[in-house]
Structure 1
């Protein structure tokens, strides 16, 4: 059974699935994993006929703790320590900082077919929906302190209260410390040394903690949200799920103070880019919007779902990773189509990942056209893509097939324009033989000579036949493949590696290929010039 279907099968009664994000900067693709995981749980519950709601929170009462490198530090540094919803917007299309960065992320939700009910923490606090929880946790501050100490070994002073006021004098929330509560008001100090990244103003006084005048620390706030919203399922990333970590502390507070069981939880791993965990504020990696602009929605969902939540994903939009992602998806489409021909397909784990990658409730099949081939074809001058696709497809493509092909042509062009390294690009030498062929050995020249002869009589000028001929010529001589293939690539690309050699030659006219190989042989055999 697929992991989400198992969660759904075990769930009893009405379910509320919740996830949230602090919009501290441009939201990175790593944050999409939690979004998609919770969306799939929601869909699995719906398919199982269980009553369910899907909520997504914007934690916009958190403090701005650093200025992302892509923003004007001089403009935003004065707002360090402010609630994100009280920081000005970097652009004109939003009312504040939090809504500016969350707006871009929510566009990606729509793109991926994710449709939760969105709520903002500012609204929960300012509307009074968290007032009862605030009072409960302030009245039971000693139990909250006990939970911190018992679970994470973090000792809080005896006069520490789980609340941070928005300073009435300077507007900061990160620098305030509450040391008393009389049932109606808290006493706080905006401490100059509260953090090592922003100074408080020194103001102190009594103020009501209710109706948006401040916030709970996020581990306590987590529990307050569970209670206020009736959350029954909320997963968390591995960093929050370590033994003695944030989730364990929140669970202990939930049981100790509220005498309730916490929501169902299972940790999930991160998405890494080249082994680096992505950070919203540091701008490391690719933003969710950028990756959504590159990958079709089903492919992007598939990236998140083809591995179990507890397995990490190391994603980088290089040639090998992106083309393999499309190839794996196409392979499952073919597997499903073939199984469907025999009747109702057995929905194996991989096919369930494919199912939940769809935007709707059924798998949309098509006749796949290899994505790496599209990348290569786009780089061959004077090719008419539509005609080339038709010539290389054994079946007549439907309108739906062409929608996929045209979408992939756009994706491939964007990848070439924005992501491809120079060495990943296919730069064909049409006008002159690359100088690199002068480095070919006598064994490689002999191979090219035989290959040119064999290609003249090859019946089918198409990728697989050419690939077979390149291999069989090497085997007959014999010459090692790690010498034969570079000889071909040097002759056309001027470098040692390239796309599948048979496919590469199939993009080109037979006469041009044979003439080029013979010109390469001639240049390789020219005697080296001796300098006087």
Structure 2
């Protein structure tokens, strides 16, 4: 059974699925893994007929702890230590920092068909909804300290209380330490040395902890959210889920103070970019918004779901990785349509196709005529080609309206990839006006290969990629020539470099007369060099 369906099958009673994010900067694609995992659990529960709500929290009372490298340091450094919701927006399109970056992320939610009920921590604090939890945890500060000590071996002083005040003098929340609670007010100090990245102002005094005057530390806050919202299922990333880690501490606080079982939990692995975990505040990796602009929504969901949650995803938007993603998706969809054709009476989706099912925005896996993504990348780089005419010509069968919808998505994705992600080595730069100078470096055996190839191409009646590829191979065999040497001659003649895309496909994009003329020009160039 698929992992999400198993969770749904085991669930009893009303279910509240919850996930959250601190919008400390541009939200990266890594954060989408948790979003999709929780969305699929929600969908699995709905399909199982279980009553369920999906909530998504914005932890905007957390402090701004660093200025991302893509923002104006002079503008935002004065706000280090401030709650994100009290920090100005980078642009006038939003009321504040948190709303700005979360707004970008929520656009991606909509694109991916993810529709949780979104709530902001500022609202829960300022409306007084968390007042009761604040009071409970302050009155039981000794038990919170015990939980930290027992689970994570973290010592807290006897006068440490689980609360951070928004300093009345300087506005920082990261630098305040609470050391007393009298049942209605807390005593706090905004300590100059509370952190190593921002200094407190030294102010101290008594203040009410209620109605938005401060926040609980996030491990305690986690438990307060579970209690207030009735959360029954909340997964967490591997970093929070290790033994003695954040989730274990939160679970212990929940049991010790509230006398309740914490929500169902299972850890999930990270998304890595070339082996590096993504970080919003450090600006590492690709933003969720950028990747959503690159990949069609079903492909982005598929990227998240084809790998088990406990396995890491190492995603790098290079040619090989992206084209393989499209190819794998097309292959699985094709297998599903074949299965459906052979078993039209079966409405139940077998386990092999569950990741494909949950990758859809809706509940239907539609059939389409796949057009190879790598071919689109190449075609878009051939001057004077009408891309849609070329797709229609190569597709053979008449394309449906939905087929064209898929093709248009992929043309946009290929254009985006070429503009923003392709390395120079991955780009196809055809020399159309003249033979590249590098073609003058061919060896005698390579010149002989081009001469024989002209003869064989002139006889060819079917100017298609596979037929051309076969001819390129067979010509090298006729001369008992190493294939890499032969293909190097082709690439030097058309691209001016030693490597390129599949050579047969490359030549198929060009007119037969142009190809033969170019090969002759390359031969003549070498004859001239030899003289």
- TM-score range (shorter-chain normalised) is over 0.9
Aligned ranges for residues 437-452 of structure 1 at < 5 Å? 437-452=439-454
Q: Match for residue 189 of structure 2?
A: 189
CA–CA separation in structure 2 for the residues paired with 1:92 and 1:350:
47
* 1:337-380 per-position Cα deviation (integer Å, ceiling 9, x unaligned): 11121124674444211111110011122101111111111111
Alignment partners' CA distance in 1, 2:362 and 2:48: 16
Residue of structure 1 equivalent to 2:406: 404
Counterpart CA distance in 2 for 1:47 and 1:477 is 63
Q: Which residue in 1 is equivalent to 2:389?
A: 387
Counterpart CA distance in 2 for 1:349 and 1:518 is: 55
Deviations 1:377-430 (A, max 9, x none): 111111112221111012110111111112211221222222222221111111
1:438-517 aligned within 5 A: 438-517=440-519
How many residue pairs match? The answer is 529
Correspondence 1:2-401 to 2 at 5 A: 2-344=2-344, 347-401=349-403
Q: Residues of 1 paired with 2:446 and 2:309: CA distance?
A: 48
Q: Is the 8 A contact 1:179 1:187 kept in 2?
A: yes
Whether the aligned pair in 2 keeps the contact of 1:237 and 1:269 (CA below 8 Å) is yes
Q: Deviations over 1:141-200 (max 9, x none)?
A: 111111111111111111111111111111111111111111111111111110111111
The normalised TM-score by structure 2 is 0.97
**For the Cα contact (< 8 Å) 2:440–2:529, is it kept in 1?**
no
**For 1:482 and 1:246, how far apart are their aligned partners in 2?**
54
Distance 1:351 1:381 in 2: 39
Q: CA deviation at 1:31?
A: 0.8
- Offset of 1:527 from its aligned partner? 4.1
Listed one character per residue, the Cα deviations across residues 75-106 of structure 1 (whole Å, up to 9, x for unaligned) are 11111111111111111111111111111111
TM-score (norm 1): 0.97
The Cα of 1:304 is off from its aligned counterpart by 1.0
CA drift of 1:280 comes to 1.0
Find the aligned partners of 2:155 and 2:39 in 1 and give their Cα distance.
37
Please report how far the alpha carbon of residue 448 of structure 1 lies from its aligned counterpart in structure 2 after TM superposition: 2.4
Q: Matched residue of 1:100: which SS?
A: helix
Deviation of 1:521 (Å): 2.4
In structure 2, what is the Cα distance between the partners aligned to 1:247 and 1:3? Answer: 21
The alignment yields a C-alpha RMSD, in angstroms, of 1.5
Which blocks of at least 5 consecutive residues in structure 1 are unaligned?
Answer: none
Supply the distance in 1 between the matched residues of 2:303 and 2:313 (Cα, whole angstroms). 8
Shift of residue 526, structure 1, vs aligned partner = 3.7
Q: Any idea what SS the aligned residue of 1:392 has?
A: helix
1:420 aligns with 2:419: no
Structure 2, unaligned runs of 5 or more: none
1:437-479 C-alpha deviation (Å, 9 max, x unpaired): 2332333333322222222212311111112222232334322
Aligned to 2:395, the other structure's residue is in SS state: coil
Q: Aligned to 1:264, what secondary structure does the other structure show?
A: coil
Counterpart Cα distance in 2 of 1:234 and 1:476: 64
Aligned counterparts of 1:319 and 1:350: Cα–Cα separation in 2? 26
Question: In the aligned structure 2, how far is the partner of 1:295 from the partner of 1:181?
Answer: 52
Contact 1:24 1:281 in 2 (8 A): yes
Q: Distance in 1 between matches of 2:351 and 2:496?
A: 44
CA contact (8 A) 1:306 1:350 kept: no
Partner Cα separation in structure 2 for residue 489 and residue 319 of structure 1: 18
The yes-or-no answer on 1:431 pairing with 2:406 is no
For 1:8 and 1:205, how far apart are their aligned partners in 2?
49
